[in-house]
Amino acid sequence: MSRKPQSRKSQSRKPRNSNARKTFAALALVAAVGLLAIAAVQMLGDDKKPAKNTAAATETNPAYAQLAKMARRDAHDPLALGRADAPVVLVEYSDFQCPFCKVFATKVEPRLIADYVDQGVLRIEWRSMAIFGAESEDASRAAWAAGQQGKFWEYHRALFEHAPEKKNTGAFTRDKLVELAGAAGVPDVGKFRADLESPAATAAVRSDVNEGIGIGVNSTPAFLVNGRPILGAQPLEQFRATIDAAAKAAERDSE
């Protein structure tokens, strides 16, 4: 994955962020090596169609149990939606400049929220897999900042509605990100600006990128459904089949 080098002007204008951006770029080029990475890559190949034996595979594959530990289940996580104790957790690794992430966010995710999250069956946990450059990183920090005021999901929706067709072409400038905060109902825009620029925002996004790379995620969107990987903006039926199977397995485990 290649990136155009920043101009001297942009480096001098925002020196505080240049090191963080170099770190993100380096992380995006690193392929993680290890059991979970290998397991994830191997398992992604069988997710093209919903499998009839999904529940059995979820129960018997030990790598799924390890990947399921990626779910944080933090009741106070502003970047999560749904009950912390929901039987199924979908962890979403996504980039706001990724066109396939936009397809999932605008076409599939609203149906999952209505049919599963609102019914107490599913919890969705966002991870900022900001791998497509400076504007991805800025958008992810801005989304985190909106989350500090309880408006992550409203801001998430606004970002994907305004996501560019081409990456890093000025759609997510700082001024535009602040403008979207107002449109998303973020109450304190001054605080939003400060949080967007904060080391805490950079650290939060960097942690998500590290986590994704650590389990072998090198493209977006990528998902874990109770540890079972799904790669790409698959059809709604794919997610339904996997969530239903995971819910049934969780019900049996609780008996």
Report pLDDT for 245: 97
Number of domains in the chain: 1
* Domain annotation covers residue 24: no
Residue 76 CA neighbour count, 13 Å, CB half: 1
More confident residue, 198 or 39: 198
Distance from chain centroid for Cα 66? 19
Asked if residue 121 belongs to a domain, the reply is yes
> With bands split at pLDDT 50, 70 and 90, how would you rate the model's confidence at 60?
low
**228-246 average pLDDT score:** 97
In contact, 91 and 224? CB cutoff 8 Å: yes
Contact partners, residue 76, CB within 8 Å, separation at least 6:
none
- Given the DSSP bridges, would you call strands 122-128 and 88-94 parallel, antiparallel or unpaired? parallel
Give 59's pLDDT tier (boundaries 50, 70, 90): low
Facing residues of 231 across strands? 222
Does 254 fall in a domain? no
Q: Say which residue, 180 or 40, is predicted with more confidence.
A: 180
**Does 18 score more than 80 pLDDT?**
no
Structural domain contains residue 13: no
Say which CATH number the domain at 240 has.
Answer: 3.40.30.10
Q: Give the residue, 59 or 185, on which the prediction is more confident.
A: 185
Tell me whether residue 18 is in a domain: no
In this prediction, residues 121-141 reach a mean pLDDT of: 98
Q: Does some domain include residue 21?
A: no
- Considering the domain boundaries, does residue 2 fall inside one? no
d(CA 141, CA 138): 5
- Model confidence at 152, pLDDT cuts 50, 70, 90, reads very high
Domain of 212, in residue numbers: 31-248
Q: Is the residue at 253 inside a domain?
A: no
Q: What is the mean pLDDT of residues 210-220?
A: 96
Cα of 224 vs its chain's centroid, Å: 10
pLDDT above 90: residue 1: no
Phi, psi of 222 (to 5 degrees): -135, 145
CA distance 161 to 96: 10
pLDDT of residue 254: 85
By mean pLDDT, which of 29-33, 79-83, 187-191 is the weakest?
Answer: 29-33
By mean pLDDT, which of 19-28, 68-77, 78-87, 186-195 is the weakest?
19-28
- 251 or 34: which leads in pLDDT: 251
